[in-house]
Structure 1
Amino acid sequence: MALNIQQDLQKSLTLHQSGKTDEAIKICRNILDVSPKEPNTLQLLGVFTKATGDFDGAEKYMRASLSVNKQQPHVYNNLGNLYNELDLYDAAIECYKQATKLNEKYADAWFNWAIILEKMSDFSGGVGCIEKAINCDPYQAKYYNLLGLLYKRQENFPEAIRMFEIALKLQPGYLKAIHNLGAVYREEERYDEARNCFNFVLNTKPDQVETWEAIGSLYHSTEDFDRAIVAYQKLLALEPENLKIHRVLNNMMWETGHHDGFLNSYIHAMDSCPNSPALVAAYAEELALGGTYDQAMDIIEKAVQENGEHPELLHRLAQIKLKTGNRKQARHLLEKTLEITTDNDEYYTDFAELLLEDGDYDYALKQTEFAEKINPDYQKIWAIRGDCWRLSGDDRFHWLCDYENLVQPMEIKTPKGYGHIDEFNEALEEALTKLHITDVNPRDQTLIGGTQTVGDLYLNRNPVIQKLRLAVLDAAQRYIKALPDDDTHPHLRRKTQMLKFTGAWSVRLKSAGFHVDHYHPKGWISGPYYVKLPAEVNDSTMDSDRPGWVNFGASRFGPEESRTPKRIIKPMAGLQVFFPSYMWHGTNAFQSDEIRMTAPCDIVPL
């Protein structure tokens, strides 16, 4: 009987490998009818069931196999892979620990453990695991590729390059390693070598989405806009619903004067995916940004008529109705949206914002309670609550928006290698100026009369920008350390010295430029670093119009007389101002032939 089981299991494995998984599952179940605790059958059935997408069933069979025989490292490894796909990282790690405890030479288990640690941003731990995998089996190209990625994440680019080169010696033409090598070359500003890597990948396998994005971004940042457009269009032909790339492509086309074909990417994508509410909603949003409200509403209403009342479409239509002043219809649409779906914090807060503007503060606060259950750290919740409390005379407004203590201007420490902060700022201005590659005001930002850099500033490897990043991080840690403790406060309860930047950019305002009042809905701590200021700003006093100064608390809600700043700060070069991301803030316009340059950022707990 044992021989028959082994033969049947081998047959099931062959069927699975040839794509006949259902037949393989049937064989395994027949075996279990005769021998219900046969561990090899249970574990294989787990593998086959996982392949069908039944993860709960797969876990059940693998666990059943281990309950019969705990000495199966390969089953722990497979179960760990299952948990990995479910993003249950702690459970996956426990499985890999068991697998490597049972077999210290189990290279693939060490490799899979390293993959999890890379996802968890534990790069040093990942390096330790993958090095153990390499010690067990030094001839696997994928191990060196992962080690290279981990070194890249640690910004150890020379070692990353060396690992990718080893991977390519072991496996010439290994496209993942070639792509990753190109990405590191780009970090080191070895642009020709990066392009060569990306082009090799695309010439070999033209459907590599991540490589089209990488080469498009490279062309974009090096101001080769025509080639960037082609690369992004190639990507969208493969992934028509990639909304991030639609935005990047069309913003770039607008800002660089490539107006022919502007927004056409959405039209082509909707031809490919005619039933995609996300595409219709995104296209309508772009049209509304340009003021073509009627066209935006028409395409949504047509999509609703053809495909039904999808919440994403109703929500976007409500937003456009609000912009055209049709508040009654907007409210009806938002109410209908929330009848359909109850798990979207943005829908609740947008409805709350409408109620806030209508003066229905209690009902608005009720919507923020629903949103808080979904995402308590969503800063828009607290911005709306602050306005409701302020306008209803609730003292909690002063607790939430303590402008004197929570808004703090801080001088950064002069980075090493510079004798004075002015010397550093001159070098920083020179580096940032090169990144302001257009003269066109961005369509979708809060600045008026200026430009903004593309992408995440702190990913730029220029040494002076990296020194700014470290100096701002140090200042942020000092800011946080000085804050009081309060586990009930949405800003203070997140206090930690473990921080990460979720965005950084540079803004260059020209004469008459300013920031409209706004807040940052997805941050925690926000704030600008002041790089260069016009003489008009430097020489101004409290008795003047305070040109170029930054103000806090001037919300756009409530009676006009209530929309006044609660605190205003004079910027100075070398100063970083930190504040809760939910606080309203903006700047005053200035008149000068000189520019006003800043480098703002958003920070969240790690």
Structure 2
Amino acid sequence: MTPQAVRALLARGDTAAALAASTAGVAGPDRAAWLMLHAEVLRAAGRDLEAEPVLRRAIAASPESPVRRHNLAALLGDLGRDAEAETEARTALAAGGDAPETWLVLARALQGQNRFDEADAAYGEAIRRRPDYLPALQERAQLVWMRTGQLAPALAVTHHLPEAAATRRLVEAALYEAAGDPDSAFAACRRGPLDAALTVRSVGLGTRVDPTAALRLAEEALRAFGPQRPVLLALAEARLATGDAAGAEAPVAEALDQDPADQYALALLTTIWRLRGDPRYAALHDHEGLVSTRTLDTPPGWATLDAYLDDLAAALGRIHAFDAHPLNQSVRGGSQASVRLESHPDPAVRAFFAAIDGPIRRHVAMTGPGDDPFRRRHTGDYRLAGLWSVRLTAGGSHVDHVHPRGWISSACYIDLPEAVAGDDRQGWLRFGRSPVVTGQDLPPERWVQPQRGLLALFPSYMWHGVQPFSEGVRLTIAFDVVPA
């Protein structure tokens, strides 16, 4: 098989076949090129740790290759090994690899080490080489926003671009939405020609601002861009916002045919079923069979769970360095930080994997296999697919959301404000309140009162959010689980 054929398999989502082909290719001629492709396939399969030695073998065959050094730097950054990622990115740049992508990898590595001024400068170098480079613009604007909580300096990141530039409008829309101004976000999206991404974003914002206009945009997008999954989901949102739950079901079903694991599409479908009184809703929102709360196991090295949580809270406190929440996330009134278990230097952070392994396995065993969209993915084993920490301060909350690429999602409580002990549900986790505009009241169906050391586990398609609280700090770790 040729490398082009392997990449075609990846494009179709057939990672198993691509992995088998790239494994065979490594044993044949042109071994160095196949090693690079094999590492790419391993990463697509979510096997980043296995990709690292493969990339290092490819580099050994051509140590001066800036492309191979860049790829290793990007991988190390994704693994949370930011100092090593910085070294490899600088090596790639010194070898002549002056691509904006490499400057972006360097900026992320510097930001991961809390060297924010240097990160800002590296983002600037990426943008100088490609002025409309969307990832660099988004991340630089987000860095400014999270450091300051101020909208004006974050918006200034894109002011070198024309007001009608699509990239500028996407970044500005995200910033306005993060600042709680959906009207300005909607206006920013529509300040020029609409491509597919801007149309989808406009529809989502428009359902809260002008549902009729949102529906018109969604229908135009379907005609212009065809039945792409984001367009289909935007159309369903717009129909729900105008009260047409029956008409929303067909585009969601088509989107799920394209990607049955899309948890956001599944959340929309179950919302439609709830609105229409469809009995299938209850099966997928079986809170007794699919949701559980479990106490963390005390990991080796600590005498008690409280002692472990004290050390973990102190370590997480050193990780959180921002004043404002990130863009395009559910956090409001706090900060969010990504955490890599495998490579973090603090022993309490690394031990978190041991603390959650038993509770996750007991939860997976409880849910069991079956034929519904959740249980049919059951393999009996799991792997983590992202882990992050959230630090909410007084007035903080989570807007209702789902985790689109997960299977099982979580909330683990490390430190809590006194307010969560009350009966008014301050800081509590809620399930079932849909953020999608539907014209009907869909209140929460279940509440979980946080307790220190408690781990809540639930299907990733379930809408969930957090009530605001009046004072103190609410420190959590969250992660997604997918079948292994």
TM tier relative to shorter chain? 0.7 to 0.9
Asked if 1:565 is matched to 2:444, the reply is yes
**Segment drifting more, 226-235 vs 211-220:** 211-220
Q: CA 1:108–1:299 in structure 2 vs 1: closer, same or farther (change >3 Å)?
A: same
Structure-1 residue corresponding to 2:434? 555
**Identical columns (%):** 27
Q: How does 1:179-198 map to 2 (within 5 A)?
A: 191=83, 195=86, 198=89
Residues 313 and 414 in structure 2, CA contact (< 8 A), matched pair in contact too = yes
Q: Secondary structure at the match of 1:451?
A: strand
Asked if 1:220 is matched to 2:97, the reply is no
Letter in 2 for 1:567: R
Among 524, 529, 533, the alignment partner of 2:416 is: 533
Query: CA offsets, 1:235-272, max 9 Å, x none?
Result: 1233445433322211110121296752344343569x
Residues 458 and 465 in structure 1, CA contact (< 8 A), matched pair in contact too = yes
Q: Separation in 2 of the partners of 1:468 and 1:450? A: 22
Between Structure 1 and Structure 2, which shows a larger proportion of strand residues?
Answer: 2
Q: CA deviation at 1:427?
A: 1.4
Structure-2 residue corresponding to 1:505? 388
Asked if 1:517 is matched to 2:406, the reply is no
Letter in 1 for 2:239: L
TM-score normalised by the chain length of structure 1? 0.68
Asked if 1:84 is matched to 2:6, the reply is yes
Residues 80 and 95 in structure 1, CA contact (< 8 A), matched pair in contact too = no
Asked if 1:303 is matched to 2:192, the reply is yes
Structure-2 residue corresponding to 1:493? 376
Q: Separation in 2 of the partners of 1:391 and 1:225? A: 46
Letter in 1 for 2:158: Y
Q: Secondary structure at the match of 1:312?
A: helix
Q: Which has the larger radius of gyration?
A: 1
Superposition CA RMSD, Å: 3.7
The count of aligned residue pairs is 473
Q: Separation in 2 of the partners of 1:114 and 1:417? A: 39
Asked if 1:255 is matched to 2:138, the reply is no
Among 249, 264, 269, the alignment partner of 1:365 is: 249
Residues 93 and 113 in structure 1, CA contact (< 8 A), matched pair in contact too = no
Q: What stretches of structure 1 move > 6 A for 4+ residues in a row?
A: 180-190, 291-295
Q: CA deviation at 1:332?
A: 0.9
Q: Secondary structure at the match of 1:490?
A: coil
Q: CA deviation at 1:302?
A: 5.4
Query: CA offsets, 1:93-131, max 9 Å, x none?
Result: 55985995xxxxx5634x5554454334399xx9xxxxx
Q: Secondary structure at the match of 2:401?
A: coil
Q: Separation in 1 of the partners of 2:99 and 2:8? A: 24
Q: CA 1:171–1:294 in structure 2 vs 1: closer, same or farther (change >3 Å)?
A: closer
Q: CA 1:497–1:588 in structure 2 vs 1: closer, same or farther (change >3 Å)?
A: same
Structure-1 residue corresponding to 2:353? 469
Structure-2 residue corresponding to 1:586? 465
Structure-1 residue corresponding to 2:264? 380
Q: Separation in 2 of the partners of 1:365 and 1:188? A: 40
Query: CA offsets, 1:267-296, max 9 Å, x none?
Result: 43569xx8x745544444444544677776
Letter in 1 for 2:317: T
Q: Separation in 2 of the partners of 1:481 and 1:425? A: 26
Letter in 1 for 2:155: L
Letter in 1 for 2:242: D
Letter in 2 for 1:574: G
Residues 333 and 396 in structure 2, CA contact (< 8 A), matched pair in contact too = yes
Q: CA 1:379–1:297 in structure 2 vs 1: closer, same or farther (change >3 Å)?
A: closer
Residues 429 and 450 in structure 2, CA contact (< 8 A), matched pair in contact too = yes
Residues 80 and 91 in structure 1, CA contact (< 8 A), matched pair in contact too = no
Q: CA deviation at 1:445?
A: 2.7
Among 153, 160, 164, the alignment partner of 1:268 is: 160
Query: CA offsets, 1:290-325, max 9 Å, x none?
Result: 467777666655532xxxx6333433333443343x
Asked if 1:480 is matched to 2:364, the reply is yes
Residues 148 and 323 in structure 2, CA contact (< 8 A), matched pair in contact too = no
Residues 351 and 367 in structure 1, CA contact (< 8 A), matched pair in contact too = yes
Letter in 2 for 1:150: E
Letter in 1 for 2:307: E
Q: CA deviation at 1:448?
A: 2.7
Between Structure 1 and Structure 2, which shows a larger proportion of helix residues?
Answer: 1
Q: CA 1:350–1:460 in structure 2 vs 1: closer, same or farther (change >3 Å)?
A: farther
Q: CA 1:231–1:534 in structure 2 vs 1: closer, same or farther (change >3 Å)?
A: same
Q: Secondary structure at the match of 2:122?
A: helix
Q: CA deviation at 1:202?
A: 2.5
Q: How does 1:17-416 map to 2 (within 5 A)?
A: 79-87=1-9, 90=17, 93=20, 97=24, 108-109=30-31, 111=32, 114-121=35-42, 150-151=52-53, 167=60, 173=64, 175=66, 191=83, 195=86, 198-205=89-96, 207-257=98-148, 261-268=153-160, 277=166, 280-290=169-179, 301=190, 303-304=192-193, 310-324=195-209, 326-416=210-300
Among 450, 457, 477, the alignment partner of 1:599 is: 477
Q: CA deviation at 1:366?
A: 1.6
Q: CA deviation at 1:580?
A: 0.9
Letter in 1 for 2:207: L
Query: CA offsets, 1:406-425, max 9 Å, x none?
Result: 11112232211111111211
Q: CA 1:121–1:178 in structure 2 vs 1: closer, same or farther (change >3 Å)?
A: closer
Structure 1 regions of 5+ residues with no counterpart? 1-78, 101-105, 127-145, 154-159
Query: CA offsets, 1:171-217, max 9 Å, x none?
Result: 775546766787899879794x7656544543442614443223212
Letter in 2 for 1:151: P
Q: CA deviation at 1:229?
A: 0.8
Q: Separation in 1 of the partners of 2:6 and 2:226? A: 28
Query: CA offsets, 1:483-538, max 9 Å, x none?
Result: 13222x1111111244333322111122332222222233221111111123343x
Q: CA 1:283–1:467 in structure 2 vs 1: closer, same or farther (change >3 Å)?
A: same
Structure 2 regions of 5+ residues with no counterpart? none
Structure-2 residue corresponding to 1:47? none
Q: CA deviation at 1:597?
A: 0.7
TM-score normalised by the chain length of structure 2? 0.83
Q: CA 1:295–1:592 in structure 2 vs 1: closer, same or farther (change >3 Å)?
A: closer
Q: Separation in 2 of the partners of 1:439 and 1:516? A: 18
**Segment drifting more, 287-296 vs 217-226:** 287-296
